[in-house]
Amino acid sequence: MSFVSDTHSFDSFEDALEGQFELGVTDGLPVVPPTPERVAAMLAAGDIAGETILGEVPTRDVVVTAEKVAINAVMAGCLPEYFPVVLAAVRAFLQPLANAHSTTATLAGAAHAVIVNGPIRHDIGVHGGQACFGPGFRPNATIGRALRLVIRNVCRTVPGVLDRASFSWPLRYSFCFAEDEEATAWTPLHVKLGYEREQSVVTIQSIMRLFQVTEFAPESEEILTTAYEVARHMGLQRDEWAGDGRSVVLVIGPEHYRRLVADGWTKESIADWMYPRLVADTAGKFDQKVTLASPDNIWIVTAGGPGIAQSWWFIPHLATPTHELILR
Amino acid sequence: MSIVTLDPTTGFGSGEEFPLAPRPESLKGQVLGVVANGLGDSEAMFDAIAAALTDADGLAGVCKVVKHSVAVPPQPEQWAELLAHATVAVTGFGGCGSCSTRSMRDALDLEAAGIPAVCVVHSALEPAVRAMARLVGADEYPVIVIDYPHNPTAVWTKEESAMLAAQVLDAVRLRLTR
């Protein structure tokens, strides 16, 4: 297999490891040296030619090819069988409404959540249960990291250059998890988006703010009340360009969905109940309108482990969530 | 044992010199395009710049577009309006990470379309817009810089906006003419 990328030669594995730091192409952590053999294996697993264009960032004159994504996936530590998920994540990130330039150059340091649905979760082990937002799960850690390395190395989002985040964010190392579809009888996110349950799908949501919803009350309406009050803490202004597709994601944890399911709530009824409360006029500095076009803009996902009564909001940057079928 | 690795980046810079649009002798009779990104209170500054240049320099008109989001290109119809009417242009305000770089890109895109342009940015974002200029080979492309104590994200009073307009007026005139 031939490649168009420049090459770098090193005398040893250790030199190659350190050499990636000297090249300025890591996220600050060591990376797997992207040898041609490893990159070829990645492309083969994705059944894709290196020259295939996955998308563009027009503001930066960036064209993203499968070869560059495969190199970064190797560096992130992905196994080849993860690569179809990485490809779908990159394609979703490069959809115009994901607003790749804005969400990665922003002072606010927006992150991106990679949410995986469908059978591939089990095939490769993308975790959606206990501790799924954090470290310890290779597919989660490396798929999310591969997207971030693509954002850095291919899309030129280097801190101090086109990454202008004032603080940036730990979520920018990696943030990928699966929906725990089997936890409830609720409709999985990808099925709500129009896919078949047997299909595997990646959803990308930019995250401007990550809000924890902790509510121990057993009453389901109290849980939902706390949730919308938390979301209204800083509100969400309309962005004309992102338009009516701009959405919030609510990740509901098991202690909450257990109570909600027991009281007959569904994803649809939760969104219907919450929508008018979220979009009510601003009533104070920490009680602000969350501008959404309809209840369909409240995307609900189930994930996390038992114990604390907790859920999480992903409040977007200037983008809409996007999704892509995982091809394999 | 020798190890070869593949480069993960797309590189930086086109390697070609970026040609600037030819400048008019003066602003008299020109139509000033204003590509405002709506950041904070910056639109008031651009309105004041346009008004002052109309009065003092004899602009023939102003063609202002306000983009639909701070860090996106003008909408196709806005771009068409600019190309149809503007003969010189000012873009900005470059006071946040994504909007500064996009505003710089707006200016460079106008230059490529033959319309002399200049981007107004905050000093905090100057490295970012310089990087954007390098992308297209316009390393030395001049920008107009507003400094502290004025807020980068254009959270300005009405009086501050007017004062900043007066402060940058000569530089705008200088950058858009030969």
CB–CB of B98 and A103 under 8 A? Answer: yes
How many CB contacts within 8 angstroms connect chain A with chain B?
148
- Residue-wise pLDDT for B23-38, tens only, equals 999 999 999 999 999 9
Give the predicted TM-score (pTM) of the model. Answer: 0.96
Q: How confident is the model at residue B40 (pLDDT cuts 50, 70, 90)?
A: very high
Per-residue pLDDT, averaged over A170-186, amounts to 97
Tell me the two tokens of residue A106: 């922003």
pLDDT at A318: 96
Which residues of chain B does A60 touch, with a Cβ-Cβ cutoff of 8 Å?
Answer: 132, 135
pLDDT at B14: 64
Residue in this structure with the two tokens 């401007």, named with its chain if needed: A208
pLDDT higher than 70, residue B13: no
Amino acid at residue number B3: I
Residue in this structure with the two tokens 């895109």, named with its chain if needed: B109
Per-residue pLDDT, averaged over A130-146, amounts to 98
Tell me the two tokens of residue B155: 């959270």
Nearest to A303 by CA among A253, A268, A233: A253
Nearest to A316 by CA among A155, A156, A111: A111
pLDDT higher than 80, residue B15: no
Q: How confident is the model at residue B3 (pLDDT cuts 50, 70, 90)?
A: very high
CB A251 within 8 A of CB A314: yes
Distance CA B154, CA A84 (A): 43
- Residue-wise pLDDT for A5-61, tens only, equals 999 999 999 999 999 999 999 999 999 999 999 999 999 999 999 999 999 999 999
Q: Residue A163, class by beta-carbon neighbours within 10 Å (0-12 exposed, 13-18 middle, 19+ buried)?
A: buried
CB–CB of B12 and A61 under 8 A? Answer: no
pLDDT at A1: 86
What three-state secondary structure class fits B150? coil
Q: How confident is the model at residue B1 (pLDDT cuts 50, 70, 90)?
A: confident
Distance from CA of B102 to the nearest CA of A (A): 7
H helix or E strand, kind and range, residue B170: helix B158-176
Distance from CA of A63 to the nearest CA of B (A): 8
> What is the sign, positive or negative, of the torsion defined by CA atoms of A261, A265, A270, A273?
negative
pLDDT at A328: 83
ipTM score of the complex? Answer: 0.96
pLDDT at B98: 95
For all residues of chain A together, what is the average pLDDT?
97
Nearest to A69 by CA among A61, A85, A59: A85
- What percent of chain A shows pLDDT beyond 90? 98
- Residue-wise pLDDT for A270-319, tens only, equals 999 999 999 999 999 999 999 999 999 999 999 999 999 999 999 999 99
